[in-house]
Structure 1
Amino acid sequence: MIDKEKFIGDGYWLLPPGKLANVVVCLEMTAKPTQRPVPQRDRPFALERMPGPDLGAYRALFRRIGEDWMWFSRLKMPDDRLHAILADPAVEVFVLKEDQIHIGLLELDFREEGQCELAFFGLVPEAIGQGAGRFLMDQAIQKAWARPIRRLWVHTCSFDHPGALGFYRRSGFVPYAYAVEVHDDPRLTGHLPRTASPQIPLIEK
């Protein structure tokens, strides 16, 4: 969640070595958009609810999807806390498949009454640009608005895929806030390999 009570002033803010900062954009939709036509494919995608919670399978897919985009939150989270989230009946986790191969992850969080957070949404690198993202987003919107919610929201950041923000806006999300996130570089804490996200400079000292 974004803390709406914390603000920083204008200017440049120097980070100590080992820290990263990125700009977060928060987006929301407050009504279900019109469903887009779904292109027909010779090899259709399939979306399946993830059984479990199987922390090993979840983290393996999370890492495959997010290593290039600095996803690390669920890798460093203690097992008991992650288990509690994934086992919560108000959290729905789905795996996108093509030919029985796991290529995408969708996590919808309904724990806040009247709202749904699109908590995690992503594809493995080889699936990007193949229509899988549009299919997965259409499924996310349908499943979120099938519940009695007033708002579906998501956030993206400057570490994400360059096309992510435009994709969310084309899907019907409207930006409503900026935030700055500061955290330890997970490549230095061991939660991601040092080769992860090579487009983000690794500064140790």
Structure 2
Amino acid sequence: MSTITVTTWSLEQTSPADLRPAAVPGDDIRIIRAEVPSPEFSRFLYTAVGGDIRWTDRLGMTYAEWQEWVDRPGVETWVAYEKGTPAGYVQLEAQDEGAVEIVYFGLIPAFRGRRIGGHLLSQGVARAWDLAERWPGLPQTKRVWLHTCSKDGPHAMDNYLRRGFRLFDTKVDQEPEVETPGPWPGAAI
């Protein structure tokens, strides 16, 4: 099996004041929290956003594993909609000692390049900073962090840096080269 070189960057914010929000792209964009845990919807977003950029780590998860994930306290999914159609999402996970990870973030391919991503990321980061207000018992957020990698879209890193994230780690690994799965087998874009 052939391999590819993948660089993974880890970035963080350590204060709500670090966030530099993007402009709102227009009146037709709404960002709404998916408050009812739904494995089907979560998997749909994961495959629709990540299918063409080789997100494969969760494709083998069972329904029960997806259910367990979305039911966890401090896991939130915020979805961007344009005129009622899902355009992308940001998924947050509360972690130990007041850290919140942006576990997944991205746009469905048809919505990329339209200035929605900066706004969605801004809203996701703001919701990471106030996560404890919606989840009694969680500590106040002290750090928001994420990974991005060389497989992600060409504008991902610039978006994170423009929103006020700072690089704290870089790793380079060899990974097996996998076929781009698309949102479902055979539907690669």
Alignment of 1:173 with 2:158, yes or no, is no
Shift of 1:61: 2.1
Query: Residue 92 of structure 2 aligns with which residue?
Result: 108
Deviations 1:134-166 (A, max 9, x none): 111111121111131111100001111111111
Q: Residues 122 and 133 of structure 1 are in contact (CA less than 8 Å); yes or no, is this contact kept in structure 2? A: yes
**How many residues in Structure 1 have an aligned counterpart in Structure 2?**
180
1:72-103 Cα distance to aligned partner (Å, 9 max, x none): 12212233222211111211112211111011
Equivalent position of 2:155 in the other structure: 163
Calculate percent identity across the aligned residue pairs.
Answer: 28
Note if contact 1:109-1:119 (Cα within 8 Å) is conserved in structure 2: yes
- List structure 1 segments (4+ residues) > 3 angstroms apart after TM superposition: 18-21, 34-40, 180-186, 188-197
Q: Which residues of 2 match residues 1-205 of structure 1 at below 5 A?
A: 17-32=1-16, 33=18, 35-36=20-21, 38-39=23-24, 41-43=26-28, 45-146=29-130, 147=132, 148-187=140-179, 193=185, 196=188
Q: For residues 82 and 181 of structure 2, what CA distance do their matches in structure 1 show?
A: 34
**1:189 & 1:37 partners in 2: Cα distance?**
31
Partners of 1:127 and 1:158 lie apart in 2 by 20
Distance 1:53 1:174, change over 3 A: same
CA contact (8 A) 2:181 2:188 kept: no
Q: Counterparts of 1:84 and 1:25 in 2: how far apart (Å)?
A: 28
Code of the residue aligned with 1:134 in structure 2: it is G
Which amino acid counterpart does residue 89 of structure 2 have in structure 1? L
In 1, the alpha carbon distance for the partners of 2:97 and 2:73 equals: 13
Q: Is the 8 A contact 1:91 1:111 kept in 2?
A: no
Q: Distance in 2 between matches of 1:158 and 1:94?
A: 24
Question: Could you give the per-residue CA deviations for residues 103-149 of structure 1, whole angstroms, max 9, x where no partner exists?
Answer: 11110001323100010000011211212111111111211111311
The letter for the 2-side match of 1:153 is: W
Quick one: distance in 2 between partners of 1:85 and 1:135? 26
CA offset digits 1:24-47 (Å, max 9, x no partner): 11111111125536346242x112
Other structure's SS at 1:129 match: coil
> Which is greater in Rg?
1
8 A Cα contact 1:25 1:156, kept in partner: yes
Q: Which runs of 5+ in 1 are unaligned?
A: 1-16, 198-205
Q: Secondary structure in 1 aligned to 2:66? A: helix
- Aligned residues of 1:23 and 1:157 also touching (Cα < 8 A): yes
Relative CO higher for 1 or 2, CA cutoff 8 Å, sep ≥ 6? Answer: 2
- TM-score (normalizing by structure 1): 0.76
What is the CA–CA distance in structure 2 between the aligned matches of 1:191 and 1:171, rounded to whole Å? 28
